[in-house]
Amino acid sequence: MASRQPNRPLPMAADLYGDLYGDVSATPKRDWRGYAPGLVVVVMGTLAAGFLSDHYGVPLTLMALLIGLALNFLSADSRLTPGLAFASRSLLRWGIVLVGVRITFGQIVALGPVALLSVVGIVALTMAVGVFAARRFGFDTAFGLLAGGSVAICGASAAMALATTLGEKRTTQAQLTLVLVGISAMSASAMMLYPLVAHALHMSDLKAGFLLGAAIHDVAQALGAGYSYSDGAGGIAAIVKLTRVALLAPVLAVVAVGLSRFDPNGGAGKAKGPGVPWFVVGFFVLAGINSFGVIPPIVATGAEKAAAAMLAAAVTATAIRSPLAQLLEAGPKPLLVILIATLAAFALSLGSAVFLIG
């Protein structure tokens, strides 16, 4: 193992994600016995989260986050570190790849050019608002991309994927955990409040479905809100929401290519790693295969469940390793960035639904 400089302090957040500029050779090789203790903790925590989610109707990622934070004291045990790091890195990346079975390119085309361009515009502008709000509150562009992108695309899944692409040099575990907390709370609130707005405005199923699919963060909650309005609105919300999920890969690719042109300190430099992470390519490939309808339904269902389990496990592991001291010191400003991005997404989606759709 490479020696460390004696006066160099350890980072508060380990490089769980193997970011684009990370030194892969610095990670020691381990056999399964080294990973087992941490993975056992993650699996048990994720199973508990799944039980609570099934029995109380609470989002799985929220339960995984809360259980992980409750187990945060275990992060002091170095024997768990390899397994926790594996869950946060490798399971997350494969979970992102498997998300590709949720969408097909045909679903995106079926929206029509106006609705599709509206969704793309909403995602782009929401991310821009997130970056602007982050910088106004004293954060850097990376945190703005993390917060704005998770609101704009698909909640916790997008937050984890963006954190993977941005890397530990730009976003800390504390920032990621704060985004996960804020996204979970605001997505749950949106699921309850946005259908009331649609009812108050007497929206058609098409307009309501577009609003709910374009504005609510989490996939399950967007669909839940849509079907609570009507079956027709639920179908539209599903297509719009899955279109947003499909935009995850292009957004990650753009962020990765952008990062490859700059060094970690923001200065111009040559790329030190691949422009597009492998899991982004995998997402595209799986979505393309799914678009041809060659994946049997039972396999697609299994892949969706596996993706949900892997992402939940990654959330659990990340919460366990989050430095709680930094969470408490951050104050309300990070949550305000997420709130501003959420309000921007709602306003843009509402305006598009009223004036452009139907």
HSE (CB half, 13 Å, CA atoms) of 274? 11
Angle between helical axes of 205-215 and 219-229 (0-180°, round to 10): 160
Give tens-digit pLDDT for 19-78.
333 333 334 455 677 888 899 999 999 999 999 988 888 778 778 878 988 898 888 888
pLDDT (average), residues 167-171? 81
For the chain, give the longest Cα–Cα distance.
67
**Spatial contact of 16 and 320, defined as CB atoms under 8 Å apart:** no
pLDDT (average), residues 282-307? 86
CA dihedral 29, 39, 62, 338 (to 10 degrees): -10
pLDDT value at residue 199: 92
pLDDT value at residue 328: 63
**Residue 185's closest CA among 288, 306, 336, 324?**
336
* Separation of alpha carbons 168 and 215, rounded Å: 28
Q: Other CB atoms closer than 10 Å to residue 259's CB: what's the count? A: 24
Q: Where are the domains of the chain?
A: 32-355
Q: Please, which residues have CB within 8 angstroms of residue 17's CB and are 6 or more apart in sequence?
A: 88, 89, 92, 163, 164, 167, 168
Structure token digits, residue 34 = 């080294």
* Bigger pLDDT: 354 vs 307: 354
pLDDT (average), residues 303-325? 82
pLDDT-based confidence at 15, cuts 50/70/90? very low
Specify whether the backbone of 262 is left (phi greater than 0), alpha (psi in -120 to 50) or beta. beta
Angle between helical axes of 156-166 and 248-259 (0-180°, round to 10): 20
pLDDT value at residue 331: 72
In the block, residue with structure tokens 């307009």: 207
Identity of the highest mean pLDDT range in 14-23, 155-164, 280-289: 155-164
Give tens-digit pLDDT for 185-239.
888 788 889 999 999 999 999 999 999 999 998 776 787 788 888 877 887 887 8
pLDDT value at residue 348: 97
